[in-house]
Chain A
Amino acid sequence: MADTTVDARNLQCPMPVVKTAMAINEITSGQTLELIATDKGALSDIPAWAKDTGNSLKEQFEENDEYHFIIEKA
């Protein structure tokens, strides 16, 4: 279970990345965040954002046409 959840369902680019970044600022290093999105662009945007900001994408899966990303704050 992640420490915090970001619901970005039905939101388009750039909101999944922006909301994730805003939420990651609220947690501490080592804590995790779960993002739920429906934007297909998030499939490439979130891994790119995580790589470039040094946060690690621990897990990624699809469930009922929703994309889940578990990110651990660096």
Chain B
Amino acid sequence: MTVPDLQEETAAEESAPEKEKMVLVAASGDLDKAWPVLILATTGAAYGMDVTIFFTFWGLSILKKPGTGITGEDWRQKMMSAFHKGTPDGLHLSKLHFAGLGPSMMKSLADDKNVASVQELLDLSIQLGVKLWPCQMTMDLMGLTNDDLIDGLDKPAGAGSAISLMKDASIQLFV
């Protein structure tokens, strides 16, 4: 790279102010937690912020591809995925779950009231450039592979990357 090239590059970097950062940690696979996470993420993107969501533990189940079914190799992983299948449409309610009756009531109510669904907000997040980071350790723990997760995700990452990002972010939330 020549000196003028370098100078040009530096000038370009200086002229574009760095975007404010927002980091959300989605640690819950509950419908009533996934919803606000994605509402805040899309709104942060609407504010022109550089938004990243780090999906860990049950939160990772939000990113499971519809129709994934039972995942993992180990019987314990299989059992856990059978009881908590995840996917945006298969999330449980933290209260009033009633074997799935609660979430269907909540979803039909949201539909009547024109509240965007978790699936719609997830699609919108990707469209708005929100970065979706699956937690590598959770993937290993639960026996999930990239093929079990939706497309459009960033590379799996760990706590180190999350902290590095949060250190410089003006908003960091653990949900």
Residue in contact with B46 in the complex, picked from A10, A11, A12, A18, CB distance below 8 Å: A18
A12, A21, A22, A52: the one within 8 Å of B116 (CB)? A12
Minimal Cβ-Cβ distance residue in B for A12: B115
Of A14, A20, A52, chain B has the most CB atoms within 10 Å of the CB of A14
Q: Is the CB of A53 within 8 A of B47?
A: yes
Residue contact B115 to A21, C-beta cutoff 8 Å: no
Answer yes or no: B128 CB below 8 A from chain A CBs: yes
- Interface contact A17-B43, CB-CB below 8 Å: yes
Query: Which residue from chain B places its CB closest to the CB of A11 in the assembled complex?
Result: B114
Please indicate the chain B residues that have their CB under 8 angstroms from the CB of A52 in the complex: 47
Total A-B residue pairs with C-beta atoms closer than 8 Å?
A: 36
Number of A interface residues in the complex (CB < 8 A): 14
A18–B115 touching, CB < 8 Å:
no
Determine whether the beta carbon of A49 is less than 8 Å from that of B47: yes
| Residues in A whose Cβ lies below 8 Å from that of B46 | 14, 17-18, 20-22, 49
Q: Is the CB of A53 within 8 A of B115?
A: no
Q: Which residues of A contact B45 (CB under 8 A)?
A: 18, 21
Q: Is B48 interfacial (CB 8 A cutoff)?
A: yes
Q: Report Cα–Cα, A14/B118, bound state, in Å.
A: 12
A43 within 8 A of B: no
24 contacts between A and B (CB under 8 A): A10-B114, A11-B114, A11-B116, A12-B113, A12-B115, A12-B116, A14-B39, A14-B40, A14-B42, A14-B43, A15-B116, A17-B46, A18-B42, A18-B46, A18-B124, A20-B46, A21-B47, A21-B48, A22-B46, A22-B128, A49-B47, A52-B47, A53-B47, A53-B48
Other contacts beyond A10-B114, A21-B47: 7, CB < 8 A = A13-B115, A14-B39, A14-B46, A14-B116, A17-B46, A22-B128, A53-B47
